[in-house]
Amino acid sequence: MNDSTDLFLETATFCKPNDEKRPGFVGTPIGGVVVCDDVDLSAGATPVADAVPTDFAQGGSGSGGWYVRIMFDELLDPTVEDLLPILDPDTMLETGQFTGSLLNTQPVIVTCNGTEVAYDGYYSPSGNNVTWPVGPSLFISPLDRSAIATGSDCKVEIKDLVVDKNGGSVPTDQRGAGGEYAFSIAGLELTDTSPTPAGADAMPPVIVPEAPVSLQFNAFIDPASITTDEVVIIEHATADCSDAGIAVVNAAKVIEGGDGVVEISLNTAGADLAWDPESFYSVTFTDDNAIADLAGGAGALPGAADFTLCFNTNTATP
């Protein structure tokens, strides 16, 4: 399971007790990580941070968001996946190369909040308990992370069709039917803004009047869940927004700007500019605000005591 503390690293959510073949310290391109306790083999997995629900330009091992990897102590029968031909994008002819897919074989069941998750993935026969990533393994990636609510409780169960090269199935008590392989999706959070708030001793950022304020979240946000009454825009007389303000503009315009991004600007009918030129603004959120992702996962923006974005605008572009 990839961990929200470092999108590159995979941290175990389950370690088989008293198994000498389980991974301990594993070297990585950026140093190393202890996947399972390599001193006390009776210890299970150390509790880890929640899985990353979605991400945008990031993602562990190029996954583009949260995923599940299940490591085995021997090679699986290759029929666990289909090998699909890779086509030349120009000629649409086969290239002689193939990519693995679990779309038809479906060797595991992934559920979140009791609902089955549609997924694809592949079987990786490479690796062992000291390589990065560990292996052999099944890599499972949801087809549509936006359909999985933040804060969900999830689990994965291995089907009996997963067998080794001699036809032996995974033992019944190791398939996760009892919920042993459980994990949770992180709650909905504001992760970044553009522009970024200035530090305590720094001057506020300067943006062009045409640029809206962008809010980035760790999930696919429902822009309709942020109402204009929950966004407080104040025009100030001082560049550092230290004065009480000239005017409060609550008629904000809130639109979806892309995956996990919401844009905020002044709701001025017929205007091409997001803000007045050569002006000073602050943006805060009410303490009783509520937001939601596209799947209904609930959250809230930080209140005014925890977050204030002060910014200045320069001269409008001719």
C-beta of residue 193 within 8 angstroms of C-beta of residue 309:
yes
The per-residue pLDDT for range 7-33, each reduced to its tens digit, is 457 778 888 888 888 998 888 887 788
CA neighbours closer than 13 Å in the CB half-sphere of residue 67: 25
pLDDT (0 to 100) of residue 176: 92
Long-range Cβ contact pairs of 28-31 (< 8 A, separation 24 or more): 28/132, 29/132
pLDDT (0 to 100) of residue 14: 87
The per-residue pLDDT for range 83-120, each reduced to its tens digit, is 999 998 999 999 999 999 999 999 999 999 999 999 99
Mean pLDDT of the chain: 85
Q: Is the predicted pLDDT of residue 273 greater than 80, yes or no?
A: no
- The structure tokens listed for 102 are 């679990």
d(Cα 235, Cα 293) in Å, to the nearest integer? 30
Task: State the virtual CA torsion across 190, 196, 201, 206 in degrees, nearest 10.
Answer: -150
d(Cα 233, Cα 266) in Å, to the nearest integer? 8
Longest Cα–Cα distance in the chain: 77
**pLDDT band at residue 58 under the 50/70/90 scheme:** very low
Bridge-based pairing of strands 115-116 and 108-112 is: antiparallel
d(Cα 287, Cα 308) in Å, to the nearest integer? 12
- Token match 């209904």: residue? 296
Q: What is the mean pLDDT of residues 150-167?
A: 94
d(Cα 180, Cα 194) in Å, to the nearest integer? 41
The CB density around residue 103, as the number of other CB atoms within 10 Å, is: 15
Q: Is the predicted pLDDT of residue 63 greater than 70, yes or no?
A: no
Nearest to 234 by CA among 285, 306, 282, 304: 282
